[in-house]
Amino acid sequence: MKRNTLLIAVAAIALIGIAGGLLLAAGLQNGPLSGTLGPATTTLTLGATTIEERSTGSHLVRLDGKLSTLEGAGVAGRSVDLKWQFSTTTFAIGTVTTEADGTFTMTCEELANSSGTPFVYFAQFWGDSQYKSSQSASIQRT
């Protein structure tokens, strides 16, 4: 009888050890991470194309670009601020909302520029709880 009790006790201890090991292993899973680690990094591109030269010396310019993740997936439904800088002053052009594929477009008037100082355009995404902020490279136009 003592032998049977000892075998049952050893089996119970082994079973508890195995169960505990499985629980610990589940907490230290291998493979890809799951869950959210924080906001995803974004990139922002911007292009500027003259679509009309006006008799006043000004130009109609199309600004377009894309907000995307590092993997290249477009980020939809986010606000992107478009700005231009002349000399040391920055001006807001407007805010656009990205399309389903992360792209955006806006048309604006570029004033006549006889000073030789370039207009500098850039786009800025301020970020949110899902995506980190980013800013495009600057585009200079004279």
Is the confidence at residue 27, as pLDDT, over 60? no
pTM above 0.85, yes or no: no
**Tokens representing residue 80 in the block:** 């992107």
Is the confidence at residue 2, as pLDDT, over 80? no
Is the confidence at residue 6, as pLDDT, over 60? no
Average confidence score pLDDT of the chain: 83
80 and 104 in contact (C-beta within 8 Å)? Answer: yes
Other Cβ atoms less than 10 A from the Cβ of 142: the count is 8
Structural domains for the chain: 42-141 (2.60.40.10)
Q: Of 106, 94, 99, whose CA–CA distance to 63 is shortest?
A: 106
Q: Please give the C-alpha separations between residue 69 and each of 44, 55, 97, 136, 137, in angstroms, as whole numbers.
A: 9, 41, 16, 13, 16
- Residues in Cβ contact with 43 at an 8 Å cutoff, skipping those fewer than 6 apart: 67, 68, 69, 70, 134
Tell me what the mean pLDDT of segment 113-137 comes to: 92
Other Cβ atoms less than 10 A from the Cβ of 41: the count is 13
User: What's the pLDDT at 35?
Assistant: 55
93 and 87 in contact (C-beta within 8 Å)? Answer: no
Least confidently predicted of 35-39, 64-68, 79-83, 95-99: 35-39
Q: Of 108, 120, 121, 104, whose CA–CA distance to 66 is shortest?
A: 104
User: What's the pLDDT at 111?
Assistant: 82
Q: Of 138, 109, 95, 94, whose CA–CA distance to 50 is shortest?
A: 109
